[in-house]
Amino acid sequence: MLLLSAVLLLLVLLSHGQDTPTEKPGVLLPLPKGVCTGWMAGIPGHPGHNGVPGRDGRDGTPGEKGEKGDAGLAGPKGDSGETGVTGVEGPRGFPGVQGRKGEPGESAHVYRSAFSVGLETRVTVPNVPIRFTKIFYNQQNHYDDTTGKFHCNIPGLYYFSYHITVYLKDVKVSLYKKDKAVLFTYDQYQDKDLDQASGSVLLHLDVGDHVWLQVYGEGENNGIYADNDNDSTFTGFLLYHDTN
């Protein structure tokens, strides 16, 4: 250890002698100020510990905007939103271009069946069909004036009506369908005066059905009357035919 200290001192002295000019030969220069005689260098110490980290610096200036990246993948479809409030109705648009004329359709067949007839003489026989022989309309000939009966040729719904002039006696008449009375009318005669009795009904008929009027009861109820000034009429017509 002493040898090492001596070597170090010698090196220091040699270094100092080279840097200081000599004034006279053979004259010893004094030792530099601050150099102790017998000085010995100590053993180098161990490295110290790292200091405490300093505080964070200030934020730097924002950099320039980067380039736009590629589009990402499409996400899943979202749920439907709530229905919005109905908007105000817009203005009416202009008329469209007229379309082409359509093809001719099939002509619809019109079913016709009607009659209107009247009396020419006073009825005297009860309980048999009244023969109305005064023809107002019978183009389809579905009414038979020889029997007084209407013959159904087109199945469907029919309307029937009658207007009777009453004179001299009371009147009781009935409208028959297929030998069964379906409508009755009674009128009591007023002395020395003409009276009127009437009735109407809707009936469904099948092909072959017959409809007619007749006086029912005894002969004292056959006051049906007609002359040149007073008519008793019987009318019927098809409203609509069966489709099946």
Q: ∠ CA 57-58-62 to the nearest 5 degrees?
A: 130
CA 87 to chain centre: 18
Mean pLDDT for 172-191 is: 90
Q: How far is CA 191 from the centre of its chain?
A: 69
* Predicted confidence band of residue 93 (pLDDT cuts 50, 70, 90): confident
Kindly give the pairing relationship between strand 222-225 and strand 156-177: antiparallel
Write the pLDDT tens digit of every residue in 182-230.
999 988 888 778 888 899 999 999 999 999 999 987 767 788 888 888 8
Closest CA to 185 of 211, 219, 218, 162: 162
In which residue are the tokens 């009506």 written? 161
pLDDT tier at 39 (50, 70, 90 boundaries)? Answer: low
Dist. CA 122–CA 20, nearest whole Å:
182
In sequence order, which residues have a C-beta less than 8 Å from that of residue 45 and are 6 or more positions away? Answer: none
Judged by DSSP in three states, 149 sits in strand
Of residues 97 and 27, more confidence is placed in 97
Q: Which residues contact 31 (CB under 8 A, 6 or more apart)?
A: 37
Q: Give pTM, 2 decimals.
A: 0.56
Residue 23: is its pLDDT beyond 50? no
Q: How many C-beta atoms surround the C-beta of residue 182 within 10 A?
A: 13
One-character DSSP codes across 183-202? EEEEEPPPTTS-EEEEEEEE
